[in-house]
Amino acid sequence: MSPRITLATTRRVLSQLRRDPRTVALIIAVPVVLIALLKGVLEGSPGSFESLGGPMVGLFPLIIMFLITSITMLRERTTGTLERLMTLPLAKLDLLLGYGIAFALVAAVQAVVTAIVAFAILGVDAAGSTVAVVALAVANAVLGMAMGLLASAFARTEFQVVQFMPAFIFPQLLLCGLFAPRDSMAPVLEAVSYALPMSYAFDALHRVTVDGSLGTAGVVDVCVTLGATALALVLAAGTLRRRTA
């Protein structure tokens, strides 16, 4: 591993993104628009927007980074650049961490913008620290990215990888507790929800935005989220093969 190569990779990924202003605009604007939309949709059900809005600020980066990373990495595989990189003195972790740092930076910008609009303009209420919400949002983005890197190994085309979004992410979104408390779900689903990383990401956000602070259980949530990120990165590194058929 080499910091020089890791940072060169970060810089390269960011330069690629800079060449695609439309994607950057979408990354920044979509969460803001969706939260504004949510406010209007929930206008008639008092209290709903207050409890959903805060966690949404922290979950959007996870979903968007999953999608962006899985497609970027798939492109790296299909255009042959990954094969070239694998013949060069670059460690697999240089590549994965390079991506990780780049997308964490993008996620930080996204989360800050979303948080400012949500908390300052749309009146989303966070019982706890909004800075903590942004920090959790960045951690969740890195989790989404790590899952995206892993998912890209199982897709051969961009059509397939786009389908991974509903296949990998939607079930987690449904089961994480955002739409219904997990202990009110069918027992099987509640049990499954314990195995899904997004449940812990949501739980931490819920504690900060609704309960007011992480507390001990929230710290455990954050540790599980970070652990899931590390696990996904290690598994993703395992899918990067120097030799292929």
Distance CA 71, CA 68 (A): 5
Q: Which residues of 220-239 are buried (b: 16+ CB within 10 A; e: fewer)?
A: ebbebbeebbeebbeebbee
> CB atoms < 10 A from the CB of 164, how many?
21
Residue closer to other proteins (CB basis): 92 or 207: 92
Q: Is 243 a residue that touches other proteins (CB under 8 A)?
A: yes
Residue closer to other proteins (CB basis): 45 or 244: 244
Residue closer to other proteins (CB basis): 4 or 188: 4
Q: Is 48 exposed, middle or buried (0-12, 13-18, 19+ CB in 10 A)?
A: middle
Q: Is 70 a residue that touches other proteins (CB under 8 A)?
A: no
Residue closer to other proteins (CB basis): 10 or 140: 10
Q: Rule CB under 8 A: choose which of 85, 155, 214, 232 binds other proteins.
A: 85
Q: Rule CB under 8 A: choose which of 88, 186, 188, 195 binds other proteins.
A: 88
Q: Rule CB under 8 A: choose which of 41, 43, 81, 219 binds other proteins.
A: 81
Residue closer to other proteins (CB basis): 6 or 199: 6
Question: Which pairs from 161-168 meet CB under 8 Å and 24+ separation?
Answer: 161/70, 161/71, 161/74, 162/67, 162/71, 164/70, 165/63, 165/66, 165/67, 165/70, 168/66
Least distance between other proteins and beta carbon 8 (Å): 4
Interface residues toward other proteins, by CB under 8 A:
4-5, 8-9, 11-12, 15-16, 19-20, 79-81, 83-90, 242-245
